[in-house]
Amino acid sequence: MTKKVIVVGAGPAGLMAADLLSCAGVAVEIHDAMPSVGRKFLLAGKGGLNLTHSEPADLFAARYFERRPEMAPMLQTFGAGEVRAWASSLGVETFVGSSGRVFPVDLKAAPLLRAWLHRLRHPPTGPAVKFCMRHRWTGWHLPGNDHAWLNFETPTGPVSAQADAVVLALGGGSWARLGSDGAWVPWLRARGVAVSPLLPSNCGFDRQGGWSQHFASRFAGQPFKSVAIRFTSLQGQHFARKGEFVATTSGVEGSLIYAASRLLRDEIQALGHATFYLDLLPDMSAARVHAEVAHPRGSRSLSSHLKSRLHLDGIKTALLHELLSKTQLQDAPTLAAAIKALPVTLDAARPLDEAISSAGGVQFEAMDENLMLKAAPGVFCAGEMLDWEAPTGGYLLTACFATGVRAGRGVLDYFSSKIGLQPL
């Protein structure tokens, strides 16, 4: 008799689990609250779909921080090489960019998703995957026997569904409008599953005290290019990197800030604030900066002097005026030191729903090595709803793919070890 699996969540992790199970001959139903599949996946590809990263496996695994021990075995099974081979099997070739990131040749998400959905609906082996869209999971349903069911709210009213196993791939808590709203947290906790609080990751921050109206009105949305930041946490964790970020109406965001966001967020949680140091001219030595600032400027204004001697203008000069007093601006040693290490204090991460991804989720200790919940045998979890976080750069998608594969294989192992078991 053909086994049936319900996958809740039509994102990368859920689709990957469904793909593996369908090809193994399992009947799969995918239920998702959204009207169409892979909405966050498509958004991720809007600026060029970064599928994975080509760096060495050890360095890749280290991007998952404290969860490296749990993630590394799954990445060994389905890492960057496997992601590229999977894309190729769908007719989508990839290339390695100058930064080591891996993209589809056409940089687009939609063609890859279309090819993937075609294979799910017309698998080379096994039954076609059934898609049940606009089916919002609303928790567990226990109809008075030993079987566990799932409740869904649909356009035609509430329904309950039953299967031999369940894969939950519900996403984290960011971008609720695309389906990842974290509503599942209390339902899993009610089943005795340990879930860490969902927190913003790869996110922006509010500056302590905010910007002045003048600065915000003129420079919000403008980038700080070719700068560097450094930060050392209370625990001694150090971050230092060159790149760029953007001023917002209330603080900062962008790639360089996202890269440091885990440390900044945790420091704010512990102390109520976090201060990073901004180097406005990372390619110039401190001695050179001091010499140029101290050079006599005659009748020129300070702004003209900085532009002439250091090519420093626009938002960079405006930030110096924003954060330094008139006395500090007129003191050459103080100004030169600030150009190389300007303290910027933050006091809040932006809301979770604005973050690119989320931290927290189902703790690995609540699951076995196949990602099956110890408190709910036959129920597996995958994707961003698990308690890991990673920077942007292909690591988020790769982890979703890898955990989807592990959950799918876990279901097959569960079936092989539970022959004759009643449906959940």
- Could you tell me the strand order of the sheet in which 136-141 lies? 136-141, 149-154, 157-161
- Prediction pTM value: 0.93
Residue type, 252: V
Cα 388 from Cα 265, distance rounded (Å): 15
Report pLDDT digits (tens) over 212-235. Answer: 999 999 999 999 999 999 999 999
256 is written with which tokens? 């360089």
Q: What are the backbone angles phi and psi of residue 126, rounded to the nearest 5°?
A: 80, 170
Least confident of 87-91, 270-274, 416-420: 416-420
Residue with the two structure tokens 């906790």 = 189
Half-sphere exposure (CA, 13 Å, Cβ side) for 9?
Answer: 29
Structure letter (DSSP) for residue 423: P
Domains, the chain, with CATH or none: 4-200+357-417 (3.50.50.60), 205-349 (no CATH)
CA distance 172 to 195: 11
How far is 261 from 274, CA to CA, in rounded Å? 11
Residue 145 has pLDDT above 70, yes or no: no
Q: Which two tokens stand for residue 263?
A: 């440390």
pLDDT at residue 422 tops 80? no
Q: Once rounded to an integer, what is the mean pLDDT over residues 395-411?
A: 98
Answer yes or no: is pLDDT of 416 > 60: yes
Give residue 175's pLDDT band: very low, low, confident or very high (50, 70, 90): confident
pLDDT of residue 423: 42
Dist CA 197 CA 247 (whole Å): 28
At residue 400, the pLDDT reads: 97
* Calpha distance 369→405 (Å, rounded): 12
